[in-house]
Amino acid sequence: MATVLATGLTTSEAPFIEEARAHHQLYIHQPYELYSEENHAAWRSLFSRMQERWQRYGNKHFLRGISALCLDPQRVPRLEDVNRFLNPLTGFRAKPVSGYVPSFVFFDCLRNREFPTTITIRRSDRLDYLPEPDIFHDIAGHVPMHTDRMFADTLVRFGECAHTAAEIVNGIRDESLRLRRLESIIRAMARFFWFTIEFGLMREGSASKAYGSGLLSSYGELEHAIEASEVQRYPIQIEWVINQGFEIDHFQPLLFVVDSFDHLFGLVGELEKWMRAGKLDNVAPGEPEVNEQDLKSFLKASAHPLH
Ligand SMILES: [Fe+2]
């Protein structure tokens, strides 16, 4: 117990999370009493240094959303408090998880207006970008957009696309062909998600502002994404996004701009049409890797279709 209290709920150092994983518990509760003073201090520093950058580079839906959530700048948020403000707006709620959520399961949560949320927080002496999500990335980076109706509906459409993918591969008899196509479809969906939900920009007048959570939760990258002359920023095109690899360990050199969340919603519908037409079956190889768990999650769903 002493160890538990000493390390709190710090990313990759939390015994509570290790235990949940050891018992294969993906859905957990948020044991709020375990957060250490260092954990709260990390939240405080992250939250306060982002204020000025959010005002300058955050898109208007984000700014509206973050104020609607009434987050405490001083303490790690309780998910039940977040949900009290969020749920009446769009039906979404943050759902605590112990770690990696296989891709079909993740998209299916979105379809049910649940957002798998990490409860650990990065170390207070390492506040800069870390490849794995933490509660700052999930709650301060993602959840503010979930207060927006059109954005919330867009996430639900993503979830529906995952079901469409499961249905499509269910119809393929040849096993190796089924796997090859599924891998390509998952890769295409992951790339689309990455270049929109995680790292998307939106046009605001003559400027571009961030709505992607990877940008909004990174002090250094948010400014870089908007200001750096070497970053390539282009109007989004599905054919480019689904064939474009990405790396997660450095600032993104290439970003895509949408006009609005109505535009984004329409693009997800378009993505689904492309999927049905077979245009996602052979996207360019490369990042991201599609892992065994992702493939299995879709195959399991395709064996038990919804309808
Ligand atoms: Fe994320």
Distance of CA 92 to the CA centre of its chain: 14
Helix (H, G, I), strand (E, B) or coil at 116: strand
Q: Classify residue 182 as left (phi > 0), alpha (psi -120 to 50) or beta.
A: alpha
DSSP one-letter code for 289: P
Q: What is the pLDDT along the chain (307 residues), one digit of tens a residue?
A: 444 445 799 999 999 999 999 999 999 999 999 999 999 999 999 999 999 999 999 999 999 999 999 999 999 999 999 999 999 999 999 999 999 999 999 999 999 999 999 999 999 988 886 778 999 999 999 999 999 999 999 999 999 999 999 999 998 999 999 999 999 999 999 999 999 999 999 999 999 999 999 999 999 999 999 999 999 999 999 999 999 998 888 899 999 999 999 999 999 999 999 999 999 999 999 999 999 999 999 999 988 766 4
At residue 6, the pLDDT reads: 52
Specify the residue for token string 């979404």: 92
DSSP string, 223-279: HHHHH-TTSEEEE--HHHHHT----SSS--SEEEEES-HHHHHHHHHHHHHHHHTTT
Query: In this structure, what token pair is assigned to residue 225?
Result: 């994404």
Q: What b-and-e string marks burial along 87-118, b requiring 16 or more CB atoms within 10 Å of the CB?
A: eeebebbbbbbbbbbbbbbbbbbbbebbbbbb
At residue 166, the pLDDT reads: 96
Query: In this structure, what token pair is assigned to residue 92?
Result: 């979404």
Residue 275 maps to which CATH number?
Answer: 1.10.800.10
The overall average pLDDT reported for the chain is: 94
Distance, CA of 85 to CA of 250 (rounded, Å):
34
* CA 177–ligand 1 middle distance (angstroms): 30
* CA 1–ligand 1 middle distance (angstroms): 31
Domain count, the chain: 1
* CA 102–ligand 1 middle distance (angstroms): 14
* CA 134–ligand 1 middle distance (angstroms): 9
* CA 213–ligand 1 middle distance (angstroms): 6
Residue range(s) defining the domain that contains residue 185: 2-303
* CA 132–ligand 1 middle distance (angstroms): 8
Specify the residue for token string 């309780």: 78
Longest dimension (CA), the chain: 57
8 A C-beta contact, residue 158 and residue 294: no
